[in-house]
Amino acid sequence: MQYSYEVPEGRRETIPLRVYLNLFGRYLGSRWQLLALLVTAVLGDIALQLINPQIVSSFIDTALAGGENHLLVGLAVRFLVFSILQSALALSATYVAQLVTWGATNDLRNDVMAHTLRLDLSFHNNHTPGEMIERIVGDIQQLGDFFSRMTVVLMANIFLIGGILVLLWRENWLLGVVLSAFILVILTVLYLTRNIAVKSFRENRKAFADLFGFIEERLSGLEDIVSNGGREYTLLRMAQHYREVRRTEIRQAIMGNLFYVTGFMPFVIGITLVLGISADLYLQGAISLGIVYLTFQYTTMMRRPLQAIAFQMRNLQNATAGIWRIKELMDISPVVKEPAASIPLAVNGSKEPLGVQFRNVTFRYDDAPPLEMMALAKRENHETTLDDLILKGINLELAPGKILGLLGRTGSGKTTMIRLLCRLYDPVEGSIRIGYPGQNMVDLRDLSFKDLRHDVGVITQQVQLFYASVRDNLTFFDRNISDERILEVIHELGADNWFNALPDGLDTRIETGAVGLSAGESQLLAFTRIFLRDPGLVILDEASSRIDPATEAMLERAMDRLIQNRTAIIIAHRLATVERADEIMILSQGEVQEYGRRTDLLADPGSIFSRLIHTGIEEVLK
């Protein structure tokens, strides 16, 4: 059953006007001063474009009439000054438009990125990082001209066309009527065909997203591809993606130019008629040569605003495709939602360990239905709804300060329990609660994400390190944590030798992929990172499985210090790690196979845990 990440049905190639207005209001409203400056510069540029041909026309007629030299020089100087001023206004408009473009698109990009980070793992499991890069960077980049110049340029060029027509009507009504009729036809054609290429633009953006996703995925697995002889297949698949990009690119170009050519066919006919009428009127003596030049200049000037309008309408189609894709993404609602009114986890005095409760927790992946749907399925005996359960009625009572050893074969549900406890997913049924001693336990659904992330710390096998300094990797870029505090934690964890070996101390830069760091050193960074947060609950998901011998002793000391005076859940295959546990839970196919105090289970020769210890945990739980 699908109940999340659905694209709105009934999608059309056009977007309601309110969507455009909302985008303008949200991302341009705070920049109204820059927009006003942009409008002023563009309108000034247009006014000078209309004035300069008048000056040239007067110059021609004055010269033909034998006018005095000072009059001609004055007209020439005026033309030169206005031309320089027009260029300055055009340059200013370009500069201000870029300020508006980057400001608006950066704000939109931040909003889309923040929304993407709020979406659940289910979404990210189905969309590659390369695809999301194209969504966040490529699609939004298409909106740059939409935000900065599109509306202003459209309005300005319409004003320019209107001004030209008014001046032509003033010079000769017949010229005005002919050109006005053709301009009306052209604008009507452009409006009616404004969405002709939207579908092809959107298909092209999707093709690029798929290509970037493929490249990102293959580059991240480059070592395996090369070592296993997968280069030829990778090149073949990339060629197939590029073939799709080429197909959509060609279709986009054809549809976009079809729109452009369709709009300008009437213009060619119109300009021919206007020039023919002007020549005939001049031969009849009805207009002067200066007016002929003025008519020719204004008529040819019409081409530029019409081209600008056609270009912006084409950009609008590209932007519309981008807006559709952004809107589709922003319309996706996370399944795991932060409560509107969260319950704080209050701490009295110093930090204390958290208690943990699992109450009849049931879960499955792949868009698991909500609680009420699950209950309905049970009542109606829908076996297909229950077959794919990863966890089945898990119950757990972990007192504050206790350590739980969580055991089970691969696929038994251990990591799923941790994901639920971190609220990366929500249970299909049941509840998970945490709380400090002396307080009521709080359902995770009632906690803010900030409180939950602060009070629950996780260390996994694969430590995510960033291309940044050791300081930033330890603090997660939190500038509120002082260097003194970082060094204090490093000393407390017994990692002085490791730290002293760093060439630049906290400023040492960690390369991409943690090159130069052993697995144990990466784990040590993760331990320090969690220790700086000082959570009440620490989760170690196979954190000791990749420790190298050179740093094993240091990591063991760091682990002992980390779980001291904290509640801890340890997923481990190593006997030494399990010996730290106060309680043991063994999972099998999503169900609790055994749960109790470690000493009691160990003393019971019939317990599963006791047999594991005597057989060898490492051998049995592989």
Q: How far apart are CA 44 and CA 231, in angstroms?
A: 58
> What sign results for the dihedral spanned by CA atoms 404, 581, 407, 124?
positive
Mean predicted confidence (pLDDT) in 32-41: 84
Question: For 403, which DSSP code?
Answer: E
Which pLDDT score is estimated for 274?
72
Query: So what's the pLDDT on residue 2?
Result: 33
What is the pLDDT at residue 360?
Answer: 93
The pLDDT value recorded for residue 40 is 86
Residue ranges covered by each domain of the chain: 17-330, 401-426+445-620
The predicted pLDDT at position 432 comes to 94
- Top pLDDT among 194 and 124 is at 124
Q: Which residue in the block uniquely carries the two structure tokens 């990863």?
A: 390
CA distance 414 to 401: 20
Nearest-angstrom CA–CA distance, 344 and 500: 40
Q: What is the pLDDT of residue 356?
A: 93
Alpha-carbon 503 to chain mean position: 35
- What confidence tens digit (pLDDT) does each residue in 414-467 have? 889 998 998 888 998 999 999 887 777 889 999 888 888 888 988 887 777 777
Q: What is the pLDDT of residue 69?
A: 80
- Give the 3-state DSSP-derived string for 260-315, with helices as H, strands as E and coil as C: HHHHHHHHHHHHHHHHHHHHHHHHCCCCCHHHHHHHHHHHHHHHHHHHHHHHHHHH
Residue 574: strand, helix, or coil: coil
pLDDT of res. 297: 73
Task: Name the residue among 206, 200, 306 with its Cα closest to residue 254.
Answer: 200
Q: Which of 360, 425, 345, 439 minimizes the C-alpha distance to 397?
A: 360
DSSP string, 110-170: HHHHHHHHHS-HHHHHTS-HHHHHIIIIIIHHTTHHIIIIIHHHHHHHHHHHHHHHHHHHH
SS (H, E, C) 90-116: HHHHHHHHHHHHHHHHHHHHHHHHHHH
CA distance 540 to 526: 10
Pick the CATH number of 17-330 from 3.40.50.300, 3.40.640.10, 3.40.50.1980, 1.20.1560.10: 1.20.1560.10
The span from the CA of 436 to the CA of 313, in Å, is: 60
In three-state form (DSSP H/G/I as H, E/B as E, the rest C), the secondary structure along 40-86 is: HHHHHHHHHHHHHHHHHHHHHHHHHCCCCHHHHHHHHHHHHHHHHHH
The CA distances from residue 453 to 287, 370, 398, 458, in Å, are: 81, 24, 19, 9
Residue 396: its pLDDT value, please? 93
CA angle 463, 460, 429 (to 5 degrees): 135
pLDDT band per the 50, 70, 90 thresholds, residue 12: very low
Query: 537 has which bridge partners?
Result: 456, 567
| DSSP assignment string, 232-247 | HHHHHHHHHHHHHHHH
Q: 212: how many CB neighbours lie within 10 A of its CB?
A: 21
- Predicted confidence band of residue 53 (pLDDT cuts 50, 70, 90): confident
Got the DSSP string for 578-603?
Answer: HTT-SEEEEEETTEEEEEEEHHHHHH
For residue 573, what pLDDT is reported? Answer: 65
Residue 178 banded pLDDT, cuts 50, 70, 90 = confident
Q: CB within 8 A of 35, min separation 6: which ones?
A: 28, 100, 152
Show the tokens assigned to 259.
């729109």
Q: Could you tell me the two tokens for 348?
A: 């009295």
8 A C-beta contact, residue 281 and residue 335:
no
Q: What is the pLDDT of residue 582?
A: 92
Contacts of 84 (CB under 8 A, 6+ apart): none
Read off the amino acid at residue 32. W
User: Cα separation of 166 and 471, whole Å?
Assistant: 67
Confidence class for position 596, pLDDT limits 50, 70, 90: very high
Distance CA 547, CA 416 (A): 23
Pair 343, 454: CB distance under 8 Å: no
pLDDT, position 11: 46
Q: Using one digit for the tens of pLDDT, what is the confidence trace for 108-157?
A: 888 888 888 888 777 877 777 777 877 787 778 777 766 666 666 776 77
- Which of 80-89, 338-347, 613-622 is least confident? 613-622
**pLDDT surpassing 70 at residue 193:** no
Cα–Cα distance for residue pair 413/407, rounded to 1 Å: 10
pLDDT, position 10: 41
Q: What is the mean pLDDT of the chain?
A: 77
Structure-block tokens of residue 581 = 């546990």
Q: What is the mean pLDDT of residues 203-208?
A: 78
User: What amino acid is encoded at 401 in this protein?
Assistant: G
CB 319 within 8 A of CB 178: no
- In this structure, what token pair is assigned to residue 515? 């090159």
Report whether pLDDT(277) > 80. Answer: no
Single-letter amino acid code for the residue at 463: V
Query: Which architecture does CATH list for 401-426+445-620?
Result: 3-Layer(aba) Sandwich (3.40)
Instruction: Give me the helix-helix angle, 32-64 and 151-171, nearest 10°.
Output: 30
- Cα-to-chain-centroid distance, residue 329: 9
More confident residue, 403 or 234: 403
pLDDT at 5 over 50: no
Res. 245: pLDDT tops 50: yes
The whole-number average pLDDT for the span 346-374 is 68
Q: How far apart are CA 537 and CA 460, in angstroms?
A: 14
**Residue-level pLDDT at 597:** 93
pLDDT digits (tens, 9 = 90+) for 472-515: 888 888 888 899 998 988 888 888 887 888 888 888 888 765 55
Asked if residues 430 and 362 have their Cβ atoms less than 8 Å apart, the reply is yes
CB 150 within 8 A of CB 316: yes
Confidence band for 585, pLDDT divided at 50, 70 and 90? very high
pLDDT band at 202 (very low <50, low <70, confident <90, very high): confident
- Give dist(CA 294, CA 53) in Å, integer: 6
Q: In terms of Cα–Cα distance, which of 185, 435, 422, 157 is closest to 305? A: 157
- Name the packing angle between helices 17-28 and 69-118 (round to 10°): 100
pLDDT in tens, 299-339: 777 777 776 776 666 667 667 777 777 888 888 888 888 88
Distance CA 389, CA 374 (A): 11
Torsion sign over Cα 592, 597, 598, 601 = negative
Average pLDDT (365-386) is: 46
Picking from 160-174, 342-356, 393-407, which range would have the lowest pLDDT averaged per residue? 342-356
Residues 252-268: tens digit of each pLDDT:
777 766 655 665 666 66
pLDDT digits (tens, 9 = 90+) for 538-572: 998 765 555 555 567 777 788 888 888 889 999 87
Query: Alpha-carbon Rg of the chain, whole angstroms?
Result: 35
